[in-house]
Amino acid sequence: MIAKRIIPCLDVKDGRVVKGVNFRELADVNSPVELAQYYSACGADELVFYDITASAEGRSLFTDILTQTAACVFIPLTVGGGIQTLDDFDRVLKCGADKVSVNSGAIRNPSLIRQAAQRYGNQCVVLSVDAKRVDGQFRVFAKGGREDTGLDAIQWIQHGVQNGAGEIVLNSIDTDGVKGGFDLEMLKAVCDVVDVPVIASGGAGCIEHFVTLFHTLPNVDAGLAASIFHFGEVTIPALKQALAAQKIPTRL
């Protein structure tokens, strides 16, 4: 039985881990390499590194950090943020990433997913989607959740999977940062139309939210969160014990 994955997300800017609450306020947390080692030792099943740097210097700092992390952390690493071209895929895969997550880059360049899947395999390409309810529709937002693209999220995700995305990260802007639980309604709408792994993101505030997620939506493969892990509000060992106690398949 395959285990449900617990994935801490590290937003990295200028070599430091940060976390945006509703994508706005940023608070410095810790060194990415140290945090990654800590999470791996605690039993995290995978790590996501999200590069939110804008400058070229920051970008090379990010690949340095990625290389350092891959040299000492031996669980799958997904990298996202600023992935616009196949060269970007190449750059982060060479530094030890296992999967590459595309978001705005796929909106700007609709052939990116297909090209990347052909070159690196579907399992390497993750489509990350920031979605929000607008006029009774789940709408795709770009630029870190600031820009309404007008795209229907469900259609966009279906399209991405057809083009070769091997995994979906669905981040609900409506629940992100609120700590009231994952967006089960939006996640169900996505799980109903795709047959690739779906990672739930946005809204986890306590252990019970993960239990509810996997009980309510058995097709969701993983739960992703950032600040609740970084600030120790939820510890991964306690979370995994709770999932196991609820008979949810878990890697202990």
CB of 208 to another protein, least distance (A): 23
Residue 65 tokens, joined: 């950090």
What is the DSSP pairing of strand 5-13 with strand 220-225? parallel
Q: How far is CA 222 from CA 45, 137, 188, 219, 234, in A?
A: 9, 24, 14, 9, 16
Give start and end residues of each alpha helix (H) in the chain.
32-42, 56-70, 86-94, 104-108, 112-120, 153-163, 184-191, 207-216, 227-230, 236-245
Please tell me whether residue 215 binds another protein under the rule CB under 8 A.
no
Amino acid at 79: V
Q: How many residues does the chain have?
A: 252
Site string for another protein, 57-76 (x = CB under 8 A): -------------xxx-xxx
Active site residue: 45, 88, 130, 183, which one?
A: 130
Please tell me whether residue 238 binds another protein under the rule CB under 8 A.
no
| Sites for another protein among residues 113-132 (CB under 8 A) | 121-123
Site string for another protein, 33-62 (x = CB under 8 A): -------x----x-----------------
Is residue 130 annotated as a catalytic residue, yes or no?
yes
Task: With H, G, I as helix, E, B as strand and everything else as coil, classify residue 64.
Answer: helix
Judged by CB under 8 A, the stretch of 2-10, 26-34, 141-149, 169-177 that binds another protein is 2-10
Judged by CB under 8 A, the stretch of 21-29, 125-133, 194-202, 205-213 that binds another protein is 194-202
Which residues does the annotation mark as catalytic?
11, 130
